[in-house]
C-alpha cells in the first residue's frame, strides 16, 4: 500500500465510528443553534451588516479604508484620475513603475510617462523590485471589509501587487461588491473551472504587530495601498 | 519520561514569578481583547456563526477521505504534485527530496506550524541548506534559536529593546527603540532573500476541496512573496485543514481574523491552486503540496475528541487561558501550546508523557467559550485525565480512596479518625511546608483547613 492509500484507509477505518454533532456542550452563555444550516450564501446573515444602496456600500468601503489606512478616492472622470496619479508621482518622486496591460492601467501608464516594467509575460524580478509603485486592476472591491480582490489574471500576476512599496489599484464603480459571499461567488462564476493559480483578498497595506503588538505598516508587502475608483 | 513533567513544573514556577513577562503578556493580550470584542460585536450573530463554522468543519471531517481525494485530484489536474506523508519523517524526506532535486541553495519559508511540528528547519539545515523564516515574529525567534512563543504571535514575549539588541548582534544594525525601524531592518534584510531563494515553503490555513486550492492568511505579505518569486513552491499542511466549499471561506476568514487577532479580516487571504499556468506571468514552475497525517488519523479514531481536528489555529484559546497567560508559551515545550496544545499533544506524542498538561488547568472553560469552532476543549482535558488514569492508575491514589471508603462507610471508625485528626493537628505545624510533611505538595504554598474543636454533629447533639 502506498502512503496515500494507507492514510485514506486509516481515515475510513476511523470514520466507522461516528461523532455527535458539534456544539452539544454548553458552549458558554449566548449559545444557540443556528437558524439555518450552513449552505450557499448563508454566511451573509451572520456577517457584519452591509447596506443595500450603492451610496451605503461606498460609504462603508470608505470607512473601512480609513480604518485600514488605505487611501481611497472615488473619482468622476478620467481627467480627475489622471490628475491624481500625476500628483502621486510627483509627491512620492516615482522614477519607474510596474504595471500590466488593461483598459484602466494602459492610459494611466501613458499619463505617468515613466519607464514601466510590464508583467504581462515573463519579466525580470530585479527590475520589478526597483519600481516605486505597482499599478494594477482588480476583480472586485468588497464593501463589508474594505478589501480588493485580485487574481493573477486581473492584476498582472502574483508579485506586481505585493513587491513594490506602493500598490495602486484602479477600479470601476461597477466592481464594488457588498460582501465576502459575493466575492467568492464572483470567483466561481467568472473563472470556474479554469481558475487562475492565484487569487488574493487584499485588506489594507501590509502590516505587522509582531513587536510588542504595536501596529507597523509595510512589513514585507506594500507600505501604501491606494485605491482609485472611477 | 518524568523529566517532561519536572521541566514543566520548574519552568512554570520560574515564569509565573517573572514580572516583566507578566507585564508584556498582559498588555499585549489586553490590546487584543479590546479589538476582538469590537470586531465580534460587528457580526450580526456571532454565536450562530460559531455554530455554523463548527458544523461546517464537522461535515468536512466526517467526509475527510472524499474531500481529500477531491482536493488532491483538482490540484493534480493543474500540474501540482501532491504528496502524502503518514509520519513526520516521511514528510521531511519528501521535502528534502524536492529541495535536492531542484538543486536549491537557499530556502525562504513563511509561517507554518506544521513545519515546526515535524522539525523541518532542523532537517533542512542539517542537510546543508539555508532556511530563512520570513514572518517577522518567526524571523526574530529563528535568530534567537528559539521555538515560537505563540502559534499566532511568535515573538510576543520579547520587548523592542531585546529585539533591537538581537538585530544589532546578528545583523549589525544600529540600536533603536522604534518598532517601525526594527520592522524596516528586517524588511531590508529579507528582501534579497526572497529574490534569490530557489525554494519557497509555506503552510496553509485551509484546503478547499471543491476547487483544489490552499488558502493562506497573513498580515505581512511574506507568504505572498514566498509563493510568487522562487521557482519551486512547497506547501505543507495537515490533512484536517479541509473545507468543503470555496464559499465556506466567506465565514471562516473573518472568524479566523476576529478570534485570532481582533481584525475584521487579515491583510492578505490568498488562494493558490497550482504552479504558474499557461498565460500567467509569474509564480513557481513547480508546485508541491505535502499532506501530513502524523497521528491525526489516531485522533480521528477517537470520536469523543475528534472535534479537536476542527481547530483553525486561531490562538484564541491561548489568549484567554489563565494558565497560558501565567506560565507562557515556552513552558509547554510543545509545538502547539495553550488549551488546544494540552488537548492534542497527548494524541500526537503520547498520553503518559504529556498528560500533565491536561492537569495544568483550572477547568474554567474560557477556552471552550471562546473557540470559534466550538471545540469542547476543557472537557477534553478532563477526558485526557480520565484516560491516563485508566491506562496507568496511580497506586497511592487507589489506596487512598480505598481507605477513605472504608472509613466513610463506618460511622464509628469515622468518629475515631476525626478525633485523631484533632489530636494530631497541632503536631502538623511542626512539619508543615517541609519535606517531612506528607501533604507537602499542597502545603508548601497553601494551608490545610483546620479541623474545628467541635464537629457539627457534636454541636447538634449538645445544643441547648
Ligand atoms: S482550539 Fe479553537 S480557539 Fe484554540 S486555536 Fe483552535 S480554533 Fe482557535
Instruction: List the domains of chain B with CATH numbers.
Output: 43-294 (3.40.50.10420), 395-463 (no CATH)
Nearest to A23 among B43, B245, B374 (CB): B374
Give the three-class secondary structure for B387. Answer: helix
Nearest to B303 among A10, A17, A23 (CB): A17
How close A100 comes to chain B (CA, Å)? Answer: 10
Would you say B256 and B241 are in contact if contact means Cβ atoms under 8 Å apart?
A: no
Q: B390: which residues sit within 8 A by CB, 6+ positions away?
A: none
**pLDDT (tens digit per residue) in B226-260:** 999 999 999 999 999 999 999 999 999 999 999 99
Residues of B in contact with A116 (CB under 8 A): none
Q: Looking at the domain assignment, is residue A22 inside a domain?
A: no
Q: Does A203 touch chain B (CB under 8 A)?
A: yes
Mean local confidence (pLDDT), B189-197: 91
- CATH number (domain holding residue A115): 3.40.50.10420
Tell which residue, A147, A165, A21, has the closest CA to residue B51: A21
Q: Looking at the domain assignment, is residue A102 inside a domain?
A: yes
Cis ω before A193 (30° cut-off from 0): yes
Which contacts (CB < 8 Å, 24+ apart) does range B417-421 have? Answer: B418/B451, B418/B455, B421/B451
Mean local confidence (pLDDT), B426-447: 80
Rg of chain B in Å (alpha carbons): 26
End-to-end CA distance of chain A: 58
* B437 Cα–ligand 1 center, Å: 41
Q: B378: which residues sit within 8 A by CB, 6+ positions away?
A: B339, B361, B363, B364, B365, B367, B368
Confidence of residue B451 (pLDDT cuts 50, 70, 90): confident
CB of B373 sitting under 6 A from ligand 1 = yes
Residues of B in contact with A7 (CB under 8 A): 68, 84, 86, 239, 291, 293, 297
**Domain carrying residue A136:** 48-209+216-229
CB environment B35-71: b (16+ within 10 A), e (fewer):
bbeebbeebebbbbbbbbbbbbbbbbbeebbbbbebb
* B371 Cα–ligand 1 center, Å: 5
Q: Does A13 touch chain B (CB under 8 A)?
A: yes
Q: Looking at the domain assignment, is residue A65 inside a domain?
A: yes
Tell which residue, B226, B222, B227, B219, has the closest CA to residue B257: B219
Q: Find the residue in B nearest to A184 (Cα).
A: B247
Q: What is the mean pLDDT of chain B?
A: 94
Looking at the 3D structure of chain A, how many domains does it have? 1
Query: Contact B54/A23, CB-based, under 8 Å?
Result: yes
Mean pLDDT by 10 residues, chain A (230 residues): 94 93 57 53 91 96 97 96 97 97 96 96 95 98 98 97 97 97 96 96 96 92 97
Q: Looking at the domain assignment, is residue A33 inside a domain?
A: no
Residues of A in contact with B214 (CB under 8 A): none
Prediction pTM value: 0.92
- In this structure, the residue with its CA closest to atom 3 of ligand 1 is B371
Nearest to A37 among B55, B221, B266 (CB): B55
- Separation of alpha carbons A135 and A116, rounded Å: 10
Q: Looking at the domain assignment, is residue A39 inside a domain?
A: no
How close A113 comes to chain B (CA, Å)? Answer: 23
DSSP code of residue A158: T
CB of B310 sitting under 6 A from ligand 1 = no
Amino acid at each position: 500500500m502506498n502512503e496515500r492509500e494507507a492514510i485514506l484507509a486509516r481515515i475510513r477505518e476511523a470514520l466507522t465510528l461516528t461523532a455527535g454533532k458539534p456544539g452539544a456542550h454548553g458552549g458558554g452563555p449566548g449559545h444557540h443553534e443556528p437558524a439555518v444550516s450552513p449552505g450557499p450564501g448563508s454566511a451573509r446573515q451572520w456577517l457584519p451588516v452591509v447596506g443595500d444602496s450603492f451610496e451605503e456600500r461606498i460609504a462603508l468601503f470608505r470607512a473601512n479604508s480609513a480604518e485600514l489606512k488605505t487611501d481611497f478616492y472615488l473619482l468622476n472622470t478620467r481627467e480627475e484620475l489622471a490628475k491624481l496619479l500625476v500628483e502621486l508621482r510627483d509627491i512620492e518622486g516615482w522614477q519607474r513603475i510596474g504595471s500590466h496591460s488593461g483598459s484602466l492601467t494602459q492610459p494611466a501608464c501613458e499619463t505617468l510617462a515613466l519607464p514601466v516594467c510590464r508583467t504581462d509575460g515573463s519579466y525580470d524580478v530585479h527590475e520589478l523590485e526597483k519600481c516605486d509603485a505597482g499599478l494594477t486592476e482588480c476583480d472586485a472591491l468588497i464593501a463589508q471589509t474594505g478589501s480588493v480582490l485580485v487574481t493573477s489574471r486581473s492584476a498582472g500576476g502574483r508579485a506586481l501587487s505585493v513587491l513594490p512599496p506602493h500598490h495602486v489599484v484602479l477600479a470601476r464603480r461597477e466592481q464594488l461588491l457588498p460582501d465576502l459571499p459575493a466575492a467568492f461567488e464572483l470567483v466561481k462564476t467568472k473563472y470556474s473551472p479554469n481558475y487562475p493559480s492565484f487569487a488574493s483578498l487584499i485588506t489594507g497595506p501590509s502590516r505587522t504587530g509582531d513587536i510588542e503588538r504595536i501596529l507597523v505598516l509595510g512589513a514585507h508587502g506594500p507600505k501604501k495601498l491606494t485605491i482609485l475608483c472611477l | 519520561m518524568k523529566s517532561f513533567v519536572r521541566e514543566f513544573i520548574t519552568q512554570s514556577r520560574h515564569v509565573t514569578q517573572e514580572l516583566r513577562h507578566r507585564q508584556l503578556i498582559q498588555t499585549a493580550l489586553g490590546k487584543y481583547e479590546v479589538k476582538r470584542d469590537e470586531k465580534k460585536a460587528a457580526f450580526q450573530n456571532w454565536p450562530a456563526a460559531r455554530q455554523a463554522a463548527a458544523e461546517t468543519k464537522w461535515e468536512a471531517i466526517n467526509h475527510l477521505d472524499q474531500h481529500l481525494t477531491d482536493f488532491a485530484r483538482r490540484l493534480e489536474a493543474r500540474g501540482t504534485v501532491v504528496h502524502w506523508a503518514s509520519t513526520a519523517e516521511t514528510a521531511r524526506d519528501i521535502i528534502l527530496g524536492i529541495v535536492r532535486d531542484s538543486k536549491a541553495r537557499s530556502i525562504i519559508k513563511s509561517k507554518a506550524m506544521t513545519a515546526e511540528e515535524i522539525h523541518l528547519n532542523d532537517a533542512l539545515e542539517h542537510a546543508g541548506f539555508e532556511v530563512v523564516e520570513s514572518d517577522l515574529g518567526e524571523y526574530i525567534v529563528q535568530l534567537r534559536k528559539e521555538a515560537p512563543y505563540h502559534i499566532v504571535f511568535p515573538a510576543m514575549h520579547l520587548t523592542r529593546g531585546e529585539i533591537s539588541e538581537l538585530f544589532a548582534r546578528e545583523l549589525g544594525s544600529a540600536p533603536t527603540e522604534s518598532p517601525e525601524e526594527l520592522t524596516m531592518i528586517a524588511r531590508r534584510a529579507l528582501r534579497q532573500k526572497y529574490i534569490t531563494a530557489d525554494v519557497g515553503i509555506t503552510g496553509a490555513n485551509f484546503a478547499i476541496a471543491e476547487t483544489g486550492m490552499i488558502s493562506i492568511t497573513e498580515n505581512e505579505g511574506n507568504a505572498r512573496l514566498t509563493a510568487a518569486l522562487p521557482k519551486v513552491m512547497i506547501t505543507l499542511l495537515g490533512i484536517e485543514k479541509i473545507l468543503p466549499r470555496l464559499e465556506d471561506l466567506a465565514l471562516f476568514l473573518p472568524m479566523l481574523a476576529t478570534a485570532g487577532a481582533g481584525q475584521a479580516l487579515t491583510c492578505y487571504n490568498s488562494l493558490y491552486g497550482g504552479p504558474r499556468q499557461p498565460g500567467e506571468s509569474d509564480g513557481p514552475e513547480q508546485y508541491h503540496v505535502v499532506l501530513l497525517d502524523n497521528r491525526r488519523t489516531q485522533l480521528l479514531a477517537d470520536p469523543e475528541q475528534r472535534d479537536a481536528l476542527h481547530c483553525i489555529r486561531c490562538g484564541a484559546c491561548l489568549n484567554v487561558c489563565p494558565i497560558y497567560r501565567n506560565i507562557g508559551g515556552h513552558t509547554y515545550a510543545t509545538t502547539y501550546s495553550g488549551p488546544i496544545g494540552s488537548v492534542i499533544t497527548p494524541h500526537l506524542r503520547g498520553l503518559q508523557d504529556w498528560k500533565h498538561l491536561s492537569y495544568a488547568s483550572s477547568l474554567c472553560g474560557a477556552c471552550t467559550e471562546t473557540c470559534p469552532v466550538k471545540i469542547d476543549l476543557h472537557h477534553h482535558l478532563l477526558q485526557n485525565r480520565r484516560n491516563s488514569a485508566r491506562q496507568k492508575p496511580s497506586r497511592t491514589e487507589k489506596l487512598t480512596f480505598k481507605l477513605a471508603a472504608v472509613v466513610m462507610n463506618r460511622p464509628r471508625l469515622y468518629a475515631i479518625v476525626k478525633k485523631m485528626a484533632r489530636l494530631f493537628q497541632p503536631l502538623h505545624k511542626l512539619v508543615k511546608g517541609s519535606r517531612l510533611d506528607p501533604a507537602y505538595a499542597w502545603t508548601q504554598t497553601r494551608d490545610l483547613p483546620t479541623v474545628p474543636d467541635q464537629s457539627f454533629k457534636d454541636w447538634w447533639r449538645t445544643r441547648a
